Chain A
Amino acid sequence: MHAPLLLLGDEAVALGAVHAGISAAYGYPGTPSTEILEVLLRQAKESRSPHVSWTTNEKTALEQGLGTSVVGRRSLVTMKHVGLNVAADPFMSSALVSIHGGLVLVVADDPGMHSSQNEQDSRYFADFAGVPCLEPADAQQAYDMTREAFEISERFHQPVLIRIVTRVAHGKGLVKTAEALPEKPLQKAPAAAPWILIPSNARKQWGERLKNRPELRALMESHPVNELKLENTNRELGVITTGLALAYYRECQSELKRPVSHLHIGAYPFPEQKIRDLAATVKTLIVLEEGYPFVERFLRGVIPPNIEIVGKMSGSIPAQGELTPEIVRKTLGIPSMQGQKLPGGLKLPGRPPQLCPGCPHTDSFHSIKAALASFQPHLVTSDIGCYALGAMPEYNAIETCVCMGASIGMAKGAADAGLHPVVAVLGDSTFLHSGMTALLDAVASNTNMTVMILDNETVAMTGGQTTIVPSPRLKDVVLGLGVSPEHLHVVTTHRKFIEENAKLIRQEVEHPGISVIIAVRECVETAKKKKT
C-alpha cells in the first residue's frame, strides 16, 4: 500500500484512469474539469502513454474516445457540463453502440456558476441517454469510481458518465490508491453491426439496452456506495443525500437531536427499492443534492403520497446555487454558529474578476468602441472566454455572451434581420471550437457583418492551454472557409494601434459583406509563464 496522496478531485480522476489502464484521454478545457487532462498530459510527457490530447471541441473528443473503444482499449473523455451539450450528439448515440474498450466521460458541473453560463445538472443527461452515472462525494471516491466506471462500461457495453461538481473537482483530499492495471490489448470489436447505427441495427441495440436495464438497476441497487442505514428509533424523519451533499450531512450528523435514517446515492440509476425501504419507516424525507432536484423529482413516482418531501421543489432548499454547510444545517434544524463582524461597519466594495493589466483584449475593445461610436444603433455580439469581461463597466464593449461560438451565428441572425453594423467578437480557441461552422454560413450568404477574432495565441480563461491551430495558421483556416483575401486582415492589437485598428474596423464594417479581422497579441499571462 502506498502512502495516501493529497489530490484534487480532478487529479484523483486522472490517476484513477491511469490506474485503470487507459490508452487515451481527450477533452476540451473548461472549468472545473481542466486539471484532469493537464495531469494526464504531464504523465504522457514523462512516460509516452497514454495518448493524451486537447481536442477542437467536446464532440470531437468523445468521438475519438469512441474510436479507442471500438479497437478494444480504454479511454477517458473530459469536459465541463456545457461541453456535454456540444458532445450530446455522439453521447446520446454512444449509449446504443456496443462499447468494447471501456469509455468513461467525466463531466464537471458548476453549480453556483463560479465560471459558467448556466448550472445544468449532468445527471439528467445520463438519465436521458440511459447510461450509468457515478457521482463521487470526494477525491477518494473520484479515484475509486473512475476505476470502477471502466469495469461497468465494459460489462454493460455502455459509456459511463462520472458527474463531479466544483467542490469535488477543486476540493483536495487524501486518496489511497490501488494496484495499476495494464493497458488493454488492441483488439477490434467482435462484430461491426452494433457499431453501425443504421435504423435496423439501432433498433436492435436500443432493445438490448432496455433488456439490460434490470441488470443495471440490480447492480446499483446493491452498490455499496448507495448505502441505507435505518434507525428504528426515529419513525419521523429520513434523509437522502446524493454526491457531495454526503460531506455536508456527515459534517453535522453528530449534532442531530436524534439519529436519523439515511440513504446515500452515488450510483445511478438510483436504488428504487432502498428508497422505498427508507420511505416505509418515516413520515418526512429530506433530500439533499448538489444541483437540480434530480432524485427529489423522481421520488413521487417511487414513494407513497402521504410522505412529506423536503427539498428544492418543496421550497425548503434554494433551487439555485451550491449547497452549503449552512443550508444543510438549517434544513436539518441545526442552528448555525455566529461568526465575527466588521467592528466599524466598513462597507466592503466587491472585487469582480477583470481583464489583466496589459491584456490585449483591452486594446481591441478600445478599437471596436472607437470604430462603432458613430454608427447608431450597432450590435457587438460576443462569446465564452476572458473577453466576456468586456461586458464590465469601463469597457461596456459587448452585448451578448451565450455559448461557445454563438457570437458569429447571432451576428448573422441580427444582420439578416436588418441591423447594421454588426460585429462578432470571439477568441481564437472559441472560434476553432464552434465559430467556424457559423462563419461558413455567413460566407455562404455573404452576410453584411464583421468578425473580430481576438487571437491571444492560447486558451486563456482556463489557464493557458495550447490552441489547436497555432496562431500563424489561423489566417489560412479563415481563408479556407471562403472569406475573400481582400476582407481578411491580420493586425497586431496594441495601445499604439488603437486608432489605426479602429479605422480598419470602420472600413470593413462599411464593406457590404462578410469580413474578418484577426487581432493578434499573446496573452500577458502566457507570456509571463514562458519567462519563468
Chain B
Amino acid sequence: MRRNSEEKENMKYDIVFAGVGGQGILSVAATIASAAISENLHVKQSEVHGMSQRGGAVTGTLRISDSEIHSPLVPLGTADLILSIEPLESLRYLEYLSPEGQLVTAIAPVQNIGTNYPLMEEVLTEIRRLPNSRQIDAERLAREAGSTRAANMVLVGASAAVLPLQPESLRNAVRKLFERKGSSIVEMNLKAFEAGRAAYAE
C-alpha cells in the first residue's frame, strides 16, 4: 500500500488475482471489492470471461483507492498484492508485483497440464525465495471448515492482514456473498475466512 507519510499521497491498493478457470478466483475479487465499497472506497475491477475460463489460466485485477481510479488494469511493477488460488499460477504475473509487493497463494496444485507441470518442490521454492510471500494450505483449512469449495474464502481471510480494509467489512462481504445459500453455508465460509486469517498470522 502506498500510504505515504507525505500528506498529499492518496491511499491506493492494487491486487492481481490468479488461478485456474473454475476455482472461484472471481468470487475472491468480488468479496474484497464489496468490502471496499462498504467502506466508501473507490473500486475498479477487471476480469476476463469466456474461453479462457475453460481450465486455463485466469487472472483479474482489483484496484482500491480513496480517490478516483481510472484504469481497470494494473501497470507493471506496481501491484501491492498477488492473490492466487494455485501455486504455479501465482508466479505467472510477478512482473506486475511492485518490489515491496506481497504474494499470497494457496498451495494445492491444479494438475491439468500433464507432465508440463513442474515439480511441486520447485514451484514452492520459487515462491519461498520471493522477498515477500506467504503460502496458505487453503484446501486443508477449507476442508476442516466444512468443504474444500471454501478454499477461496480461506484466501480472502489470509489476505485480510495486508488489505487496507477492516476485517469486519470483509466478514460482512462474505456474509453478503453467501446469504442466498442459507446460514450454514454462510457460517462455513466465515469459518474458512477465520482459518485463513489465523494461518496468515502464524
A-side interface residues toward B, CB under 8 Å? 6, 31-32, 34-35, 114-115, 138, 166-167, 170-174, 246-248, 250-252, 324-326, 329, 336-344, 346-357, 386, 389, 461-463
Find chain B residues with CB under 8 A from A325 CB.
71, 73-76
Contact of B75 among A35, A250, A329, A346 (CB under 8 A): A329
Interface of B (DSSP majority class): mixed
A33 to B116, CA, bound (A): 34
Question: Contact: A115 with B112, CB < 8 Å?
Answer: no
Question: Contact: A353 with B46, CB < 8 Å?
Answer: no
Stretch at the interface among B53-61, B134-142, B156-164: B53-61
Question: Contact: A340 with B131, CB < 8 Å?
Answer: yes
Given A34-B49, A389-B54, list of 9 further CB < 8 A pairs? A114-B48, A170-B48, A171-B72, A172-B47, A250-B70, A339-B77, A342-B91, A346-B123, A349-B116
B76 to chain A, nearest CB (A): 5
Find chain A residues with CB under 8 A from B112 CB.
351, 354, 357
Smallest Cβ-Cβ distance to A528: which chain B residue: B22
B193 to chain A, nearest CB (A): 20
Question: Contact: B95 with A339, CB < 8 Å?
Answer: yes
Question: Contact: A353 with B77, CB < 8 Å?
Answer: no
B138 to chain A, nearest CB (A): 19
User: Given contacts A325-B75, A337-B75, A344-B129, is CB(A463)–CB(B70) below 8 Å?
Assistant: no
Give 11 CB contacts A-B under 8 Å: A138-B72, A171-B44, A172-B33, A251-B71, A337-B77, A340-B98, A340-B101, A351-B57, A351-B113, A386-B54, A461-B54
Question: Contact: A170 with B46, CB < 8 Å?
Answer: yes
Find chain B residues with CB under 8 A from A329 CB.
75
Contact of A336 among B50, B77, B101 (CB under 8 A): B77
A150 to chain B, nearest CB (A): 26
Cβ of B189 within 8 Å of any chain A Cβ, yes or no, is: no
A352 to B98, CA, bound (A): 26
Cβ of B42 within 8 Å of any chain A Cβ, yes or no, is: yes
- Map CB proximity to A onto B110-126 as digits: 1 under 8 Å, 0 otherwise: 00110011100011011
Find chain A residues with CB under 8 A from B169 CB.
none
CB contacts under 8 Å to A, within B156-189, are none
Question: Contact: A336 with B75, CB < 8 Å?
Answer: yes
User: Given contacts A339-B95, A343-B126, A346-B118, is CB(A31)–CB(B73) below 8 Å?
Assistant: no
Question: Contact: B72 with A31, CB < 8 Å?
Answer: no
B39 to chain A, nearest CB (A): 13
Find chain A residues with CB under 8 A from B54 CB.
353-356, 386, 389, 461
In order of increasing CB-CB distance, the 4 nearest A-B pairs are: A337-B77, A31-B50, A115-B50, A353-B56
Question: Contact: A247 with B99, CB < 8 Å?
Answer: no
A246 to B72, CA, bound (A): 11
Find chain B residues with CB under 8 A from A347 CB.
118
- Map CB proximity to A onto B65-101 as digits: 1 under 8 Å, 0 otherwise: 0000011111111110000000011011011111101
User: Given contacts A337-B78, A339-B97, A463-B49, is CB(A167)–CB(B130) below 8 Å?
Assistant: no
A350 to B116, CA, bound (A): 9
Smallest Cβ-Cβ distance to B75: which chain A residue: A325
B59 to chain A, nearest CB (A): 11
